[in-house]
Chain A
Amino acid sequence: MTDIGSTPAELPGKAHGRSGSLLTESPMMKSRNAAEFRFRAYGLTAIVVALLTLAITLFTIVRDGTPAFFQAKLTYQVFIDAAVVDKNGTADPVEMAKVTTIGYARLLSNSLLAYLDEKGVAVEGMTDKEITDMISKDAPARLRDRVLADPSLVGQTITVKALVGGRIDGYLKGRVTRESSANDSNVTPRQLDMADRMVEAGILRSGFNWRFLTAPDASDLRPEAAGLGIALMGTLYMMMLVLIFTLPIAVAASIYLEEFAPKNWFTDLIEVNISNLAAVPSIVYGILGLAAFINFAGLPSSAPIVGALVLTLMTLPTIIIATRSAIRAVPPSIRDAALGVGASKMQTVFHHVLPLAAPGILTGTILGLASALGETGPLLLIGMVAFVTNYPASPLDGGFMDPATALPVQVYSWASRSDPAFIERSSGAIIVLLIFLVCMNIVAILLRRRFERRW
Chain B
Amino acid sequence: MNVGILSIIVLALALCGFVVGRNRALQSVKGDARKLHSLPVYHGQTVALFVTVPAVLMMAVWLVAQPMVIEARIVGQLGDAVAADPVASKLAMEDVSRIADGLDALQAATGLSDDEIGDMRSDLSDIRGRLAEVGVALGSEVRPEIFSMAKSLRGMQQTGATMMTALVLMLAVGGLALGILRIEGDFRARNVAESFFMWLLVAAAGVAILTTIGIVLSLFSETMRFFSVHPASDFFFGLTWNPQFRGGSDLGIIPLLWGTLYITFVAMIVAAPIGIFAAIYTAEYASPRVRSVVKPLIEVIAGIPTVVFGLFALVTVGPFLRDYFAVPFGLGTSGSSVLTAGLVIGILNIPFVSSLTDDIINAVPQSLRDGSYGLGATKSETIKKVILPAALPGIVGAVLLATSRAIGETMIVTMGAGAAAKLDLNPFEAMTTITVKIVSQLTGDLAFDSPETLVAFALGSSLFVITLGLNVFALWIVRKYREQYE
Contact = CB atoms under 8 A, between A and B. Distances in A.
A381 B347 CA distance: 26
B117 to A, nearest CB: 24
Given A281-B463, A284-B460, A376-B411, A36 B379 contact: yes
A33 B311 contact: no
B46 interface: no
B218 A292 contact: yes
Contacts of A280: 215, 408, 464, 467-468
Contact of B303 (A32, A317, A370, A381): A370
A287 interface: yes
A281 B413 CA distance: 13
A43 B404 contact: no
B168 interface: no
Interface of B, secondary structure class, is helix
Contacts of A82: none
Interface in B272-311: 273-278, 280-282, 284-285, 294, 297-298, 300-301, 303-311
A275 B404 CA distance: 14
Contacts of A288: 211, 214-215, 218-219
A287 B438 contact: yes
A283 B440 CA distance: 12
A57 B347 CA distance: 10
For chain B, the bracket of interface size reads 35 or more
Nearest to B316: A60
Interface string B220-232: 0010000000000
Contact of B294 (A47, A286, A291): A47
A126 interface: no
Contacts of B438: 283, 286-287, 381
Contact of A344 (B194, B298, B404): B194
Interface stretch (A88-96, A104-112, A408-416): A408-416
A409 B414 CA distance: 12
Among B304, B384, B404, the most chain A Cβ lie within 10 Å of the Cβ of: B304
A255 B201 contact: yes
Contact of A287 (B208, B218, B411): B218
B204 interface: yes
A380 B294 CA distance: 34
Contacts of A408: 305, 307
A53 B278 contact: no
Contact of B304 (A39, A274, A320, A374): A374
Nearest to B207: A249
B96 to A, nearest CB: 15
A316 interface: yes
A256 B204 contact: yes
Nearest to B274: A46
B281 A46 contact: yes
Contacts of A56: 316
A281 B410 CA distance: 8
Interface stretch (A130-138, A148-156, A357-365, A429-437): A429-437
Contacts of B187: none
Contacts of B162: none
Contacts of B215: 280, 284-285, 287-288
Given A281-B410, A380-B439, A47 B308 contact: no
Given A35-B380, A36-B380, A288-B214, A57 B208 contact: no
Nearest to B273: A46
A268 to B, nearest CB: 12
B190 interface: yes
Q: Which of A255, A275, A288, A437 has the most CB of B within 10 A?
A: A288
B205 A257 contact: yes
Contacts of B380: 35-36, 38-40
Contact of B308 (A250, A290, A317, A433): A433
8 contacts: A39-B379, A46-B278, A47-B294, A57-B347, A283-B439, A296-B218, A344-B190, A415-B315
Interface of B: 190, 194, 197-198, 200-209, 211-212, 214-215, 218-219, 222, 273-278, 280-282, 284-285, 294, 297-298, 300-301, 303-312, 314-316, 347, 350-351, 354, 378-381, 383-384, 401, 404-405, 407-411, 414-415, 435, 438-439, 442-443, 448, 456-457, 460, 463-464, 467-468, 471-472, 475
Given A50-B351, A253-B207, 6 more contacts: A33-B378, A253-B208, A277-B212, A284-B219, A288-B219, A437-B303
Interface of A: 32-33, 35-36, 38-40, 42-47, 49-51, 53-54, 56-57, 60-61, 64, 248-253, 255-257, 260-261, 269-270, 273-277, 279-288, 290-292, 295-296, 313, 316-317, 320, 344, 346, 370-371, 373-377, 380-381, 383, 385, 408-409, 411-412, 415-416, 423, 426-427, 430, 433-434, 437, 441
